[in-house]
């Protein structure tokens, strides 16, 4: 996807859409979002930007004019029965089970008659735990509003096991905190007088079980997104399998689902073929029917694995992004790199 970022979107937008469609023959586009909101989100905005409701609705109108909305059930049927998808189809997905996806995105989807899949992290459901990434977001938000002073900066450097750093350098190091050393966000939060527990109770960033049930009642589908949202590349394959199976089992049983959908948290880069082979060995109750990755434009050898692209960047119109993906797919096809090879 780095190639897409290096391509000039204004130049790509000059390319003829019909020409790109003829030579790439795309069958399915799967944008994913985390949230859609008209309100500030201090725990998220330092990490990534998101679209407001007007931008999201404009994107939906564009998709509905130029593509066919398919349902998750239709996608599953194409896998199980070998029914080809109509060319230029799209399916929307939402990750992490954020409250704004339920409160602000779902009503627009209902009004437009568009189905979607919402992927839930069991540990975050009902606001039982604050995602470590959101702790990072709150820390970065606090540091962007004021300098805590040299003494506090030195203490933060000690937590990070670093020599003295400037405020700008500290922000870079804090953004680099990952799943394996996530506990240090609590120590840094204390130094900055941030009360993560109070934020969790007052802001309630995640959906409740009742809200997820309501989404299902309205006709949407839900899936698993791992138990704890780790980077799969940082944990062992055994842990990857456990995170996947346990989350699928939890979501399927809690919401009484007759299907099993799973989306990788963060990225699926580095996930080996043996991971997929192990999932296939398991008893059917935790064997995923559909799996969603995010290696944009790549084709999997596994028929039930589909790759998505992030569609929530408010500074890139969706039509520009889709054209860039088509160019990326074409380049990979010409270079013989459009098929994903897992070791």
C-alpha 244/C-alpha 250 separation (Å) is 10
The pTM of this model reads 0.92
Pairing state between β 116-120 and 92-94: parallel
Helix 167-175 / helix 132-145 crossing angle, nearest 10 deg: 170
**pLDDT truncated to tens, each residue of the chain (343 aa)?**
445 454 555 555 555 555 555 544 557 999 999 999 999 999 999 999 999 999 999 999 999 999 999 999 999 999 999 988 888 999 999 999 999 999 999 999 999 999 999 999 999 999 999 999 999 999 999 999 989 999 999 999 999 999 999 999 999 999 999 999 999 999 999 999 999 999 999 999 999 999 999 999 999 999 999 999 999 999 999 999 999 999 999 999 999 999 999 999 999 998 999 999 999 886 677 899 999 999 887 888 899 999 999 999 999 999 999 988 888 888 888 888 878 888 8
- Taking residue 255's Cβ as centre, other Cβ atoms within 10 Å add up to 14
Cβ 311 vs Cβ 33: under 8 Å: yes
């Amino acid at each position: 996807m780095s190639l897409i970022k290096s391509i000039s979107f204004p130049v790509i937008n000059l390319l003829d859409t019909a020409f790109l469609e003829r030579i790439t023959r795309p069958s399915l586009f799967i944008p994913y979002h985390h949230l859609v909101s008209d309100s500030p989100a201090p725990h998220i905005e330092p990490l990534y930007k998101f679209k407001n409701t007007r931008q999201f609705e404009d994107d939906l109108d564009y998709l509905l004019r130029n593509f066919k909305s398919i349902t998750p059930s239709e996608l599953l049927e194409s896998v199980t029965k070998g029914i080809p998808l109509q060319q230029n189809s799209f399916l929307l997905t939402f990750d992490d089970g954020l409250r704004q996806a339920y409160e602000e995105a779902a009503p627009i989807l209902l009004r437009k008659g568009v189905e979607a899949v919402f992927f839930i992290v069991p540990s975050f459901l009902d606001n039982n735990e604050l995602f470590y990434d959101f702790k990072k977001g709150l820390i970065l938000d606090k540091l962007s509003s004021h300098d805590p002073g040299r003494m506090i900066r030195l203490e933060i450097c000690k937590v990070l096991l670093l020599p003295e750093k400037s405020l700008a350098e500290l922000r870079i190091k804090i953004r680099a905190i990952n799943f394996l050393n996530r506990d240090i966000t609590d120590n840094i939060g204390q130094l900055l007088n941030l009360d993560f527990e109070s934020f969790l109770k007052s802001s309630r960033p995640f959906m409740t079980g009742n809200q997820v049930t309501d989404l299902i009642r309205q006709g949407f589908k839900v899936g698993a997104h791992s138990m704890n949202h780790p980077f799969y590349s940082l944990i062992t394959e055994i842990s990857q399998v456990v995170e996947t199976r346990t989350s699928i089992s939890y979501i399927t049983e809690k919401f009484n689902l007759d299907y099993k959908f799973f989306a990788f948290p963060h990225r699926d880069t580095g996930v080996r073929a043996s991971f997929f082979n192990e999932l296939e060995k398991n008893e059917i109750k935790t064997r995923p029917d559909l799996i969603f990755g995010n290696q944009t434009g790549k084709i999997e050898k596994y028929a039930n694995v589909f790759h998505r692209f992030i569609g929530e960047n408010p500074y890139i119109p969706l039509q520009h992004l889709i054209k860039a993906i088509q160019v990326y797919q074409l380049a990979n096809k010409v270079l013989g790199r459009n098929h994903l090879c897992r070791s």
